[in-house]
Amino acid sequence: MSKKLTRFVAVLLLIALLIPAAGATFAQGVACEEDYSVQADDWLSKLADKFYGDVLAYPAIFEATNAAAKADPSYATIENPDLIEVGWKLCIPSAEDAQALLAGESMMGGEMMAESGGEAFNFVLVPKNLGNPYFDTANVGAQEAAAELGVNVTYQGSATADATEQIQLLNSLIAQQVDGLAVSANDADALVPTGKAAMEAGIPVVSWDSQIAPGGRNVHVNQAVAEDIGRVQVQIIADLIGGEGQIAILSATSTAPNQNEWIEWMKDELSKPEYANIELVAIVYGDDEDEKSYNEAQGLMKTYPELKGIISPTTVGIAASARAVQDAGKVGQVFVTGLGTPNQMREYVKSGAAPKFALWNPADLGYLSIYTLYAIASGQIEGKPGDTFNAGKLGQYTIDENGVVLLGPPTIFDINNIDDFNF
Ligand code: RAM
């Protein structure tokens, strides 16, 4: 063999060695970097997580395997991406090819399933009540998630934050056979039978913001650790009133699961020695209605002329309380804190009626709730403790041992940062 020819063969051999052990290249130019035989308890999103670290990349395996099956029937033909069987041979494209396949999908998720014979999901986001900017903002995030996932999310709630009205609404949504419910509960226990009925009818239930007790939902999406939310509000009021004096709590409804849990932590914080000079004189309820909350705040100032602080762990109550303090000419005498939206509280931060308060981003909460619901409804996860799923721009989340997904720590707002936020 001539030297030239030897070199040519060597180069060919080298090229052959450098090419990964790929299977055939299929119609769309996608090669199987690896073949995979389905094991018990596998499902596509779990495999997408394993190979690409992204549960939402499962359509790439689905598409590539079906393309491969056309050229080589030893690969499985997958009709329903939610159903794969043990022993099936799947085509796993390289991460690069998977990305190209996903980018080539005009639609992902629910709509992609629609293309393959399934149907786009119809989810419903249910707030405690309508007419509250906090929940409206959550819906903005939910719609963003819906657009990314190719699902429909409608926003439906009752006029008042009332458990009976909410149960009626949920029953009618169950009868309509919607594909998933994301609910901010008006009562943790009263909603359990309804949540159960939905799940028994095959409708996944995620509670968010205000939880349905375990047993009545698959997962609860919690905005922040309840203990932290409770304690921080006491720490802020103590600071605002100089560590002594009478304070009151103006809450949402008396049955609200989230507020009631936070109030327990407030009491616990107040029992510490450093708050010995602070007296909690009353807990009243404005029912997340502006006028009622305003009247309750006025009532507190009348009944307790020495009152120095109001903690209102509701976006409706805190704005109404701050307005009542301002209208009463008591800025600097009575301080308000609690949980509010920056847009509703901006003027009261600036006037000094409510110089400091806390909240999370409700849009992120709505966004995460829809991703959680989608992960369960699409069969990517069962919704059990330890399950991990991808929530788009927010990243990866894991369900904890109590069936809870945690959004993250709250933000504290004051004059220094209030203008940086617009919700
Ligand atoms: C109100 C609602 C909601 C709560 C916020 C802080 O908008 O009661 O459930 O999370 O306040």
| 8 A C-beta contact, residue 320 and residue 299 | no
Bridge partner residues of 205 (DSSP): 181
**Tell me, what's the pLDDT at 9?**
44
pLDDT band, residue 104 (cuts 50/70/90): low
Distance 315 CA to ligand 1 centre (A): 6
240: pLDDT strictly greater than 80:
yes
CA dihedral 244, 246, 252, 253 (to 10 degrees): 130
Mean pLDDT score, 139-150:
97
Least confident residue range of 11-15, 175-179, 232-236, 277-281:
11-15
Among protein residues, the one with the nearest Cα to ligand 1's atom 3 is 314
- Residue whose Cα lies nearest atom 2 of ligand 1: it is 314
Does residue 28 surpass a pLDDT of 60?
no
390 lines ligand 1 (CB under 6 A): no
132 CA distance to ligand 1 middle (Å): 9
- State if residue 184 touches ligand 1 by the CB under 6 angstroms criterion: yes
Q: Which domains does the chain have, with CATH numbers?
A: 3-116 (no CATH), 122-224+362-407 (3.40.50.2300), 226-359 (3.40.50.2300)
Res 30: pLDDT: 65
134 CB within 6 A, ligand 1: yes
Mean pLDDT of the 172-192 span? 98
The pLDDT of 243-272, averaged and rounded, is 98
Please compute the mean of the pLDDT values over residues 175-194 and round it to a whole number: 98
Our mutation pick for probing the ligand 1 site, out of 128, 221, 289, counting the most ligand atoms within 8 A of Cβ, is: 128
Between the CA of 309 and the centroid of ligand 1 the distance, in Å, is 20
Least confident of 72-76, 138-142, 247-251: 72-76
For the CA of 314, the nearest atom of ligand 1: 11
How many whole angstroms separate alpha carbon 98 and alpha carbon 10? 32
Q: Minimum mean pLDDT among 16-25, 63-72, 166-175, 394-403: which range?
A: 16-25
For the chain, the average pLDDT equals 90
C-alpha closest to that of 63 among 19, 120, 107:
107
Please report the pLDDT score of residue 181 as a whole number. Answer: 98
Q: What is the mean pLDDT of residues 341-365?
A: 98
Q: Which residue has a Cα nearest atom 6 of ligand 1?
A: 314
Distance 380 CA to ligand 1 centre (A): 30
Distance, CA of 50 to CA of 228 (rounded, Å): 34
Asked if residue 229 has its Cβ within 6 Å of ligand 1, the reply is no
Q: What's the pLDDT at 3?
A: 44
- Ligand 1 centre and the CA of 134: distance in Å? 7
Mean pLDDT value across residues 130-153: 97
What is the rounded average pLDDT of the residues 336-348? 98
124: left (phi over 0), alpha (psi -120 to 50) or beta: beta
Instruction: Summarize the confidence of residues 323-346 as an average pLDDT.
Output: 98
More confident residue, 18 or 217: 217
What is the reported pLDDT for 26?
Answer: 54
- pLDDT tens across 114-140, in order? 333 345 899 999 999 999 999 999 999
- C-alpha of residue 274 to centroid of ligand 1, in Å: 28
- Percent helix, strand, coil in the chain (nearest 5)? 45, 20, 35
Instruction: Assign 390 to helix, strand or coil.
Output: strand
pLDDT band with cut points at 50, 70 and 90 for residue 18: very low
Tell me, in angstroms, the distance from the centre of ligand 1 to residue 312's CA: 10
Tell me what percent of the residues of the chain surpass a pLDDT of 70.
89
> What integer is the mean pLDDT of 294-310?
98
How would residue 31 be classed by pLDDT, with cut points 50, 70 and 90?
confident
Task: Decide: 315 in ligand 1 pocket, CB within 6 A.
Answer: yes
Give the pLDDT confidence score for residue 115 in this predicted structure: 37
Asked if pLDDT for residue 179 goes beyond 80, the answer is: yes
Report the pLDDT averaged over residues 2-16: 43
341 lines ligand 1 (CB under 6 A): no
Pocket lining: 207 vs ligand 1, CB cutoff 6 Å: no
Gap from CA of 362 to ligand 1 centroid (Å): 9
